[in-house]
Amino acid sequence: MTQSIAALNPARHGKLHVVTQRDFSHASEDQLVPVVVQECVDAATEFPLVFVKNAQTGEFTLVAMMGLQPQQNLYCGQGDIQANYVPQVLRLHPFSLRPSEQAEQLMLCIDEQSNCVSEEHGQALFDEQGNKTAFLQAQSDACMQFIEHQQITRQFAQLLLQHNLLTAQRLTIRLGDEQPRTIDGVYIIDQKRLSELDAETLATLNRNGALQVIHAQLLSLKQLNRLSKRASQR
């Protein structure tokens, strides 16, 4: 757990408030932001969606590309975010669920250094008796739902692997008159292999909602042009 992330408790955080007009400066250097399948259709209208592979575990994560190079976020400015859709994980900030030291349960945590945290303004986290406020309970529920959606997203990635539908892709980006840039290490849906699936498999993917997410990922790659335009304007 990073130094500024702490498990919430009324003794330490009883006076804290969170400003609901969120500040997204914490994401200003996040090139890749995790997304879940439940938000793919909306996210695909704004960002390129790709998969990245964890070199240690081999696990694939679905992410929104918000920059063209490490530590670059072309959507986040001075605390705001210039996007019609904001990924759920960014909207949850400054809250998150983290494993306890014994890894037996998840703890609701807060980023104590977040610009959203105040002792004077915003929504209270605890009442005078040290109980969670309705606001904090709602944030806790949202974090738990996100964890559940992450698990479903991991299952979706496993389904793609089962059908050999993920393929490594080199992305080529052109910025005006500059030399083309390449981005390696990302994976996308293999359209050729998708087209070769039998009718029964396609019908199953359609019934369980996977086909909609697959199409959203493929269509989202059109947003690379939007990223290129943002980069060239900087």
pLDDT 10s digits, 94-103: 999 998 877 6
pLDDT of amino acid 23: 84
Instruction: Please state, rounded to an integer, the average pLDDT across all residues of the chain.
Output: 93
Q: Which strands make up the sheet holding 60-65, listed edge to edge?
A: 32-34, 60-65, 49-53, 181-189, 166-173
Domain interval for residue 162: 5-232
Q: Is 90 exceeded by the pLDDT of residue 133?
A: yes
Average pLDDT over residues 117-133: 95
pLDDT tens per residue across span 160-209: 999 999 999 999 888 776 778 889 999 999 999 999 999 999 999 999 99
Q: Is 60 exceeded by the pLDDT of residue 1?
A: no
pLDDT of amino acid 3: 64
pLDDT of amino acid 170: 92
At a CB cut-off of 8 Å and minimum separation 6, what does 18 contact?
94, 110, 116, 117, 118, 122, 123, 125, 135, 139
In the numeric block, which tokens belong to residue 118? 């105040």
pLDDT tens per residue across span 5-46: 999 999 999 999 999 888 898 899 999 999 999 999 999 999
Residue 67 burial (10 A CB sphere; 0-12, 13-18, 19+):
buried
In the numeric block, which tokens belong to residue 125? 């986290």
pLDDT of amino acid 103: 64
Q: Do residues 66 and 73 lie in contact, with contact meaning Cβ atoms separated by under 8 Å?
A: yes
pLDDT of amino acid 2: 59
Beta strands per DSSP E along the chain: 5-7, 17-18, 32-34, 49-53, 60-65, 95-99, 106-111, 117-118, 123-124, 166-173, 181-189
- Strand pairing of 106-111 and 49-53? unpaired
Please name which of 41, 82, 48, 81 lies closest in space to residue 63, comparing C-alpha atoms: 48
Residue 35 burial (10 A CB sphere; 0-12, 13-18, 19+):
buried
pLDDT of amino acid 221: 96
Number of domains the chain contains: 1
Query: Does the bond joining 180 to the residue before it have cis omega, within 30 degrees of 0?
Result: no
pLDDT of amino acid 36: 98
Q: Where is pLDDT greater, at 21 or 49?
A: 49
pLDDT of amino acid 5: 93
Q: What percent of the chain has pLDDT over 90?
A: 81
* pTM of structure: 0.92
Backbone angles phi, psi at 23, to 5 degrees: -105, 125
**Residues 205-233 as b or e (16 or more Cβ within 10 Å = b):** beeeebbebbebbbebbebbeebbeebee
